[in-house]
Amino acid sequence: MFFRSKSQPEATASAQGGPAAGLARVAMTVNGRAVSADVEPRTLLVHYLREHLRLTGTHVGCDTSQCGACVVHLDGKAVKSCTTLAASCEGAKVTTIEGLAQGGQLHPMQEAFREHHGLQCGYCTPGMIMAAVDIANRKGPNLDEATIRHELEGNLCRCTGYHNIVAAVKAGAAAMGSMRQAAE
């Protein structure tokens, strides 16, 4: 796979300007930045993000769609990027953990994880936070513990015992709701 930013010449383009043999050209927006690349059809989104865009906040924990360390947002919805083909993201808007903070301010969910000590080693944390933002977007600001635990079933943490993560998600969802209200 070859990555280029939109402003760079395409070194791998064929003489006709298309992708090299066996590759597919894919263009998407990642954290607000337009990017395009020629990728192998089997290239996974997580590898595209980590190895070619150097967005290493998205982690790989299992590669089998079980742990949730690789969760990013695709057109505003949480997906496991270890089971999403990069080539299938043509025209999509992707947000990774690096794209959550705005203007030097942590996203309210990030702030809640910091405040409530919702992490220890931090390996699961990017995927956990991306999943948590998606939960709050879908379920609203008033989340109970049972809902949070149910919704986080696809995200595994080996360290924390989940108690602080649940508290963080509850507080983060409430903060997101308050922020929305203040903006209306």
* Pick 79 or 87: Cβ nearer ligand FES: 79
Tell me the window of 15-23, 47-55, 97-105, 114-122 that interacts with ligand FES (CB under 6 A): 114-122
Q: How far is the CB of 83 from ligand FES (least distance, A)?
A: 7
Among candidate residues 64, 163, 69, 70, the one with its CA nearest the CA of residue 124: 69
Tell me the window of 9-17, 25-33, 103-111, 122-130 that interacts with ligand FES (CB under 6 A): 122-130
Among 53, 86, 119, 129, binds ligand FES (CB under 6 A): 119
DSSP code for 20 = P
Asked if 68 touches ligand FES (CB under 6 A), the answer is yes
Tell me how far CA of residue 116 lies from CA of 65, 78, 109, in angstroms.
27, 23, 10
* Pick 14 or 88: Cβ nearer ligand FES: 88
Distance (Å, whole) CA 26 – CA 165:
36
Q: Which amino acid belongs to residue 65?
A: S
